[in-house]
Amino acid sequence: MLSGQVSMLIPTAGKAFQEREGPAKSGAAQLATSFGELLSAKLRELNDSQKQADRLTLQYLAGQVQDLHQVTLALEQASLSLQLAVQVRNKVLEAYQEIFRMQL
């Protein structure tokens, strides 16, 4: 379902925040690396929740899972996680655009 879309974001996020080679990292470089690692980890968690919801849905449709509440909760958790990720992305883009518009 949505797990394919989330899976495509993980390599992109990792490339955007790769560590740069150099003699010493400044505090900003370390912060960017930490942010990149955090972002990649959270995107992996989001992807896992989407996959879990997809798996439970397919199992329910196949009759392997009888608890509809479990399936519904997994789907809702995945949906809310995705909505949160989209809102965080929107805020990050807004902040980037605001910084980009600043005059030096």
pTM attached to this predicted model: 0.65
Domain count, the chain: 1
End-to-end CA distance of the chain: 45
CB atoms within 10 A of CB 44: 16
Tell me how crowded residue 60 is: count the other CB atoms within 10 A of its CB: 18
Q: Walk along the chain (104 residues) in steps of 10 and give the mean pLDDT of each run.
A: 56 50 61 81 95 96 93 96 95 95 86
d(CA 64, CA 52): 14
Residue 60's domain spans which residues? 3-101
